[in-house]
Chain A
Amino acid sequence: MEKTLTTEKANSDRYVQLENVDMTFSTKKGDFNALKNINLSIREGEFVSIIGHSGCGKSTVLNLIAGLTQPTEGLLFCAGREIAGPGPQRAVVFQNHSLLPWLTCYENVYLAVERVFGTSAEKKEPKTQLKTRTNAALELVGLTHATDKRPNEISGGMKQRVGIARALAMEPKVLLLDEPFGALDALTRANLQDELMKIMAKSGCTAVMVTHDVDEAILLSDRVVMMTNGPSAGIGEILEVNLPRPRARLALAEDTDYNHLRSEVLRFLYERHAKKAA
């Protein structure tokens, strides 16, 4: 009894785990070592941000966790099992939303719902249930009015919401977000960040988000992983964000703890690992 409890605890403390991960791309100009010796454990239900300068390898880390790329060295685990390839239990919100332009918003989400809940032999749900799930996901991101529109008929912020709805509708164990709000204006971004915070609080799933926005990282995360510059990038520092939840953007602006954390990250990025102008 004692033993199983401790292993369970260990499992939930190291829900997602990267062990000595190296990533080397072979290019025409020879091998390029993007990541070197990455070690990271993520607790179940934790929200972790990865921040670093452009080109340091943030997306590569996320793709490794997603299973879209295989590491040249080292091991990755999720829920105690080795990550062998991509799968719907690790949903991805892509940097450029990646909606299929010939499907409506509804159909884009439905495609994911159908795959996760409508095809597996043992727990196949009826069509009405799948429809309910799809509509619920779109409602969650406030898009019930745009269900029948194609991606090219809606704004950038709305596209990104559909991308988030698609990922959340799969009820993933881990949500992976690659600069989900990078292409949006400041106001839309703030809105979606607030919504994402609420959604994550409700669903309680584990999340890894890539960003280059310091405020976004601190506002949303339990921990901020700061990466050193590539080539052979690694984890420079990990910052615990112990701010109480729910967090309010306006109140935090004057919070001393928040500002302290903020200057920590800024110092890391712009003093110790400043990127030389290319």
Chain B
Amino acid sequence: MSAISISKESLKIIMKNKDTILRKKESVTNSEIPKVTGITNNKSSYLNVQVYSFFKWLLPPVFGILMLLAIWTLISHQSPNLPGPLKTWSSAVALFSDPFYDHGPNDKGVGWNIVASLQRVALGFGLAALIGIPLGFIIGRFNFISRMAAPVISLLRPVSPLAWLPIGLLVFKAANPAAIWVIFISAIWPMIINTSVGVSKVPQDYMNVAKVLNLSEWKIFTKILFPFALPYMMTGVRLSIGVAWLVIVAAEMLTGGVGIGFWVWDEWNNLNVEHIIIAIFVVGFVGLLLELALTQIAKKFSYE
């Protein structure tokens, strides 16, 4: 959830800065060009402006990160157990020089752990999409089913994802499918709910067109419901992948095996705090990438 709000904020910042870039260009062409005579000069001043505005765009986020590092350094000076940024950085360089080593099931490179976690998320999330999206369409389309599903959804949705883990372990009798089950059950709700809301918001005018034409249920789905609900559905998918990535770390801490969550737990047992901090950054970074990728896909799918 927090990752979403951050990315929105940064988007806003980018938008604002685009504006400033444009304005900058205009003011330059108005005031400075008359003074400059040579074409080459003109070009280089234009380049200068571009470089300048690029730095102006870059500055705030860089400041933010520097501030984070400063606070971190300050705290690490107060608390001797917490490694500072420099120590963590050198440890990260060592770690990522060989991310894909494999020394048996209990000692794999950090790369393998990330891949294992992504695989679980992909499976759990994929299954959730496979079931949740069609379910959302059915719930949105048929009032009876919507009323039927409403109490079940409102009862199960607020349940904390990890509360489902014992059920998973009990039914599947293995850690890995149990972790996937937790991802599945926590990622399915945003997709069901957003898709069904989208479908139920289809304007009556469009449905009247369908009625006058006597369209088949399949045509209604492909030509009206699906295109209309698609942006809603993509919002659900985006929220779901965020939730899935949030939950995987916690689930893996409990189930063990290979995975970024388990890795964090393992490094805690080794008291390797640098690696824990690295893991936090890695989780944040991967989450950001997932979010960005899905935002891009969602943009492609909107018809406006």
Contact = CB atoms under 8 A, between A and B. Distances in A.
A87 interface: yes
A86 B212 contact: yes
A100 interface: yes
Interface stretch (A13-21, A90-98, A190-198): A90-98
A87 B304 contact: no
Contact of A92 (B212, B214, B303): B212
B209 A68 contact: no
B217 interface: no
Interface in B199-231: 205-206, 208-209, 211-216, 219, 223-224, 227-228
Nearest to A163: B209
Contacts of A247: none
Contacts of B223: 100, 103, 111
Given A94-B208, A152-B304, A100 B213 contact: no
A158 interface: no
Contacts of B212: 66, 68, 86-88, 90-92
A9 interface: no
B227 A86 contact: no
A87 B208 CA distance: 11
Contacts of A100: 206, 209, 223-224, 227
A98 B209 CA distance: 7
Contacts of A170: 213
Interface string A110-132: 01100110010000000000000
Interface residues of A, number: 24
A101 interface: yes
A102 interface: yes
Contact of A96 (B205, B211, B224): B205
A92 B208 contact: yes
Contacts of B208: 68, 86, 92, 94, 98
A66 B213 CA distance: 11
A111 B209 CA distance: 10
A115 B213 contact: yes
B297 to A, nearest CB: 17
Nearest to B203: A98
Contacts of B304: 101, 152
Interface in B76-102: none
B298 to A, nearest CB: 15
Interface in A67-97: 68, 85-88, 90-92, 94, 96
B219 A115 contact: yes
A115 B215 CA distance: 7
A85 B215 CA distance: 13
A91 B209 CA distance: 9
A117 B215 CA distance: 13
Contacts of B214: 86-88, 115
Contacts of B215: 111, 115
B227 A94 contact: no
Interface string B177-219: 0000000000000000000000000000110110111111001
Interface in A104-152: 111-112, 115-116, 119, 150, 152
Most buried by B among A90, A100, A170: A100
A98 B208 CA distance: 9
A87 B212 CA distance: 5
Contacts of A150: 303
B128 to A, nearest CB: 26
Contacts of B209: 94, 98, 100
Given A96-B205, A111-B223, A115-B219, A101 B303 contact: yes
A68 B219 CA distance: 19
Nearest to A85: B211
A70 B166 CA distance: 54
Nearest to B213: A115
Contacts of A103: 223
A96 B206 CA distance: 11
Nearest to A95: B205
A98 B211 contact: no
Contact of B213 (A68, A88, A101): A88
B205 A98 contact: yes
Contacts of B227: 100, 102
Contacts of A85: 211
Contacts of B228: 102
Given A68-B212, A115-B215, 6 more contacts: A87-B212, A94-B209, A101-B304, A111-B213, A111-B215, A115-B219
10 contacts: A68-B208, A86-B211, A86-B214, A88-B214, A98-B205, A100-B224, A100-B227, A101-B303, A101-B304, A111-B219
